[in-house]
Structure 1
Amino acid sequence: MNSFNYTMLCDFYELTMGNGYFVSGMKDKISYFDLFFRKIPDNGGFAIACGLEQIIDYISELHFYEEDIEFLRSKKIFDENFLEFLKDFHFTGDIWAVPEGTVIFPNEPIITVRAPAIEVQLVETYLLLCINHQTLIATKANRIVRAAQGRAVSEFGSRRAHGGDAAIFGARAAGIGGCSGTACTITDQKFGFNATGTMAHSWVQMFDSEYEAFKTYCECYSDSAVLLVDTYNVIKSGIPNAIKAFNEVLKPLGKRPLGVRIDSGDITYLSKKARKMLDEAGYSDCKIIASNSLDEYIIRDMIFQGAKVDSFGVGERLITAKSEPVFGGVYKLVAAENDDGTIIPKIKISENVIKITNPHFKKVYRLYDKENHKAIADLLTLHDEVIDSSKELVIFDPQYTWKKKTLTDFEVRDLLVPIFKDGRCVYKKPTFAEIADYCQKEINTLWDEITRFENPHTYYVDLSQKLWNVKNELLSKNGQ
């Protein structure tokens, strides 16, 4: 689709550090990085992991072209032996990740990378941009879908997206988040996410009259006619001309219209009037679709106010996550191996407590109520800890340690699954439809208190006693 080599889509410091590791003899030092986030967008209760498929494709194709190496040589700061090393560069490490569509929470690994220092550093930018963008859009889309209360939501945002990849993969993420369709044709072509569309205002304006525009469209698409009725006046001309076209073109063919779309004005008021007119004309099955700068709050209010809308098309406020357009995922060193393979935990310390990292090579366990299968909490542990669900488990808040909960009747799931082993992909990528279905099942494991928009319950992400001890020993050692 373009001529870019995404291996070069990295922050320049990843290359300067890589060169530094090479010349200082650290290029083969095995290191562990976690990709995680600190805050849920829109003050929500959860986020939805998305973007792993593109990361798999990227890791599988990592390589430098000769022109890339010549460009780096022109910067005149890289060791020539390092540049020679890059000629045969490829990823040789291990990656674990939560599957796409998994509900995720702050401060727990979404992806863990174990690889030689140069490799683990180089992939930082692309991993972050994939996860940050698609997770943000999937999360926003799901908020909008939940606000629609069972009414279909289509993604309409390609023309407002921040570039081609943002449009294509943003639409993909919106589908994983729960949208039923997209206006982005290539996303349907590449991933099988249903592309739909009818007409713009320019179609109506192109004809001598609104009726002629509607009549011609019904003749062209007699099985799927959806008419845009707000080019001039919804109530005085749009709906009457639509009904006339339905009567004169579709009815003689024994066909029924699919719907009308309203894209401007007071849609709640207009939809009520339009519904009455359509019903009286015998088109109670004709759907009303609303678009025009919608988001979860506007949709929620429209439904509360009794809008007669059957589905929504949402564009710029979805594809750009306009209300909070930065996801804020980070990629931090959490451990490194000595020559003998001993794993040494690493921690980043800050006066800003939220920026203190959870050290070490870890697992992420999700704990479920065995009776209703609702998620209770996530537990971060050391990589070699195993949770035995047949035994009593005490979990505690890692900051307010006196807050404890004893679990006795619970189920356990290890969220991080192997993606790459020794540089080879060992993960079977699910289809788009399978991811979207899995995502909905994931959301159904959450309590209503977590899915509400206003003041959602904070989901517990706790540390095992062993991991808590490691973290606090490192904090004490560094004078905190």
Structure 2
Amino acid sequence: MSQVTTTDLYEVTMALSYLREDMRAPATFSLFVRDLPPGRGFLVAAGLEPALDHLSRFLVGRSDVREFAEALRRPVEDLEPLHGLSFDGQVRAVPEGRLVFAGEPLLEVTAPLPQAQLVETYLLSLLCHQTAVASKAARCVLAAAGRPLVDFSLRRAHGPEAGMQAARLCALVGFAATSNVAAATRYGIPAAGTMGHAYVEAFASEEQAFRAFARTHPGPVTFLVDTYDTDRAVAKAARVFADLGLGPGCGIRLDSGDLGALAGRARTALDAAGLRDVQIIASGGLDEYGVAALIRQGAPIDVFAVGSKTGTAADAPYLDAAYKLVEYDGRPVMKLSPAKVTAPGPKQVFRGPGLRDVIGLANEEPPAGAEPLLRTVMRGGLRTEPPDTLAAARARFEADLAALPVEARRIDDPVAPLPTASMRLTVLTTVVRHRIERPH
């Protein structure tokens, strides 16, 4: 099914006008986040792989033209110039997993103006949502301080596809597993899960439920212990573990109540029963703030399962992102709207030690000791290299995270690094501004 018509109507009206006016010269658009959301010391670039998939198969077909005409309430022949339009441009982008900051291009598209315009909405939708979720998940990794995390977000995600994306993005930043079976098989992520409260309620007693579950699943099992009285259920679970000779790899899951206090009592009871290898898993409305609080308390929790707030990036569910024209037909352009000024020209981000970034022009040499972040990933509408892997993206994320300044890593009140502009970009911005502002 074509995704071409998954766009805002004004993209269609502009593209059609460009074609009518024969404005087909190369245009460069830059996609960036103006300001980081409150509570964020960094963002994790994500969504590039599906964006490249979309561009590589972008083609306006007959059915798309009919949909455009219907939306505009115009004859189909009026929209005929759009038929057959495909993407044959260039894309330069920050690879998935790299940390990025305010004002830095995540992606730049250079293509004939109608093409570059028509793909705007879809690219923004993909990159903004996935970067927001990946950044939230990355903060959970920081908060967990080395303890494993499991993605439980599918049932609360904003639709099944968003749940698939969340599972992939959580794996990208270091989660150990997902509850999402489809994502586990599609992306090669370990699957993890226990039982629901309905399972326990379906039996006459919790102990019967635990024994039945263990009979069906003879390998390591995890029992959900908060359906009724958590402390009593822990004692029953311990008895079942001991009777059946279960131990290493098994666990209990706490999903409600005072997780810190319950985990402390559960650890004491399990240890007293000789079950020091049985893990304690905590879930129930957790995100980086809840995880960090439990770590500070010294709660003996081995694994954290996070879902609702992480898969939806609940405290920062959108990014103030833009996709702006920065050059057309070799002419640098910029926007001067109050609070929304843009910088002209195709750009590059040069990263120095300690994630000290300089935003410069795409054709300038990097400062000494710095590396360019954006790389050419598509040329002539074709990928320049095979699809990226989760493992490679995760390695990039881990390297950047290790270099991130401590004040940006904080869960509470982080301070994000501020990129600077190169001298050449600063000069070009001044020149273009003066050109626009002088009387005509």
TM-score between both structures, scaled by the size of structure 2: 0.95
Aligned partner (choices 376, 381, 399) of residue 360 of structure 2: 381
Q: Which runs of 5+ in 2 are unaligned?
A: none
| 2:118 corresponds to | 122
SS at match of 1:474: helix
Relative distance call for 1:257 and 1:150 in structure 2 (3 A) is closer
Runs of 4+ displaced beyond 4 Å: 75-82
Whether the aligned pair in 2 keeps the contact of 1:16 and 1:78 (CA below 8 Å) is no
Residue from 105, 130, 133 that aligns with 2:129: 133
Question: Is 1:242 aligned to residue 229 of structure 2?
Answer: no
- The residue that corresponds to 1:453 in the other structure is 411
What SS is found at the alignment partner of 1:325?
A: coil
| Pairwise CA distance, 1:418 | 0.7
Residue 276 of structure 1 corresponds to 268
Structure-1 residue corresponding to 2:281? 289
Alignment of 1:169-208 (within 5 A): 169-208=165-204
Counterpart of 1:6, as a letter, is Q
Give the corresponding residue for 2:152. 156
Which residue is equivalent to 1:400?
A: none
SS at match of 2:294: helix
Q: Distance in 1 between matches of 2:346 and 2:71?
A: 36
Q: CA deviation at 1:61?
A: 1.1
Say whether 1:306 aligns with 2:298: yes
Structure 1 vs Structure 2: percent identity of aligned residues?
Answer: 34
The answer to whether the Cα contact below 8 Å between 1:250 and 1:257 also exists between their aligned partners in 2 is no
1:34-77 CA-to-partner distances (Å, cap 9, x unmatched) read 00002223432110000111011111111233222222233466
The DSSP-based 3-state class of the residue aligned with 1:92 is coil
Preserved CA contact (<8 Å) 1:193 1:432? no
Could you say if the C-alpha distance between residues 79 and 444 of structure 1 is closer, same or farther in structure 2, counting changes exceeding 3 Å?
farther
Q: How many residues align?
A: 438
For 2:78 and 2:376, the matched residues in 1 are separated by: 30
Deviation, 1:188, is 1.3
The answer to whether structure 1 residue 219 and structure 2 residue 177 are counterparts is no
**Structure 1 position 351, deviation (Å):** 2.0
- CA 1:261 to 1:350, structure 2 compared with 1: closer, same or farther past 3 Å? same
- 1:5 equivalenced with 2:2 (yes/no): yes
Corresponding position: 1:421 with 2:346: no
Matches within 5 A, 1:382-401: 382-387=361-366, 389=368
Deviates further, 41-50 or 313-322: 41-50
Q: Distance in 1 between matches of 2:110 and 2:400?
A: 27
Give the superposed CA RMSD: 1.7
**Matched residue, 1:320:** 312
Aligned equivalents of 1:256, 1:170: Cα separation in 2: 29
Compute the displacement of 1:256 (Å).
3.9
**Deviation of residue 458 (structure 1)?**
3.6
The answer to whether the aligner puts 1:70 opposite 2:66 as a matched pair is: yes
What letter matches 1:158 in structure 2? Answer: L
Select the residue among 344, 347, 370 that pairs with 1:359.
344
Pair 1:349-2:344 in alignment: no
One of 14, 21, 39 as aligned partner of 2:18: 21
- Counterparts of 1:28-177 in structure 2 under 5 Å? 28-75=24-71, 83-177=79-173
CA distance in 2, matches of 1:454, 1:249: 44
Whether the 8 Å CA contact 1:246–1:256 is kept in 2: the answer is: no
Which residue number in structure 2 is paired with residue 232 of structure 1?
228
**TM-aligned CA deviation for residue 456 of structure 1:** 3.0
Tell me the CA shift for residue 216 of structure 1: 1.0
> In structure 2, what is the equivalent of residue 401 of structure 1?
none
The residue number in structure 2 matching 1:371 is none
Cα pair 2:289 2:411 within 8 Å, conserved: no
CA distance in 2, matches of 1:336, 1:64: 23
Q: Deviations over 1:84-129 (max 9, x none)?
A: 3433221111000000000000101110000011100011111111
Task: Give the structure, 1 or 2, with the largest relative contact order (CA under 8 Å, sep 6 or more).
Answer: 2
Q: Using the alignment, how far apart are the partners of 1:79 and 1:464 within structure 2?
A: 50
What is the identity, as a one-letter code, of the residue corresponding to 2:98?
Answer: T
Instruction: Give, in whole Å, the separation in 2 of the partners of 1:197 and 1:120.
Output: 43
Quote how far apart the aligned CAs of 1:446 are. Answer: 1.4
Mapped to 2, the partners of 1:106 and 1:442 lie a distance apart of: 16
Secondary structure of 1:466's aligned partner: helix
* Structure 1: gaps of 5 or more residues: 338-342, 369-373, 390-410
Q: What's the TM-score once normalised by structure 1's chain length?
A: 0.88
Structure 1 CA distance, aligned partners of 2:137 and 2:366?
Answer: 34
**How far is the alpha carbon of 1:196 from its aligned partner?**
1.1
Cα deviation, residue 359, structure 1: 1.0
What does residue 428 of structure 2 align with? 470
For the 8 Å contact 1:33–1:120, the answer to whether it is kept is yes
Instruction: Check whether the contact 2:102–2:418 (CA below 8 A) recurs between aligned residues.
Output: no
Query: For residue 8 of structure 1, what is the amino acid of its counterpart?
Result: T
The letter of the residue matching 2:372 is: D
Distance 1:388 1:167 in 2: 41
Give the conservation status (yes or no) of the 8 Å contact 1:250–1:256: no
Q: Secondary structure at the match of 2:304?
A: strand
More moved, 58-67 vs 274-283: 58-67
Could you give the per-residue CA deviations for residues 178-229 of structure 1, whole angstroms, max 9, x where no partner exists? 2221111111111112221111111111111110110011122222211101
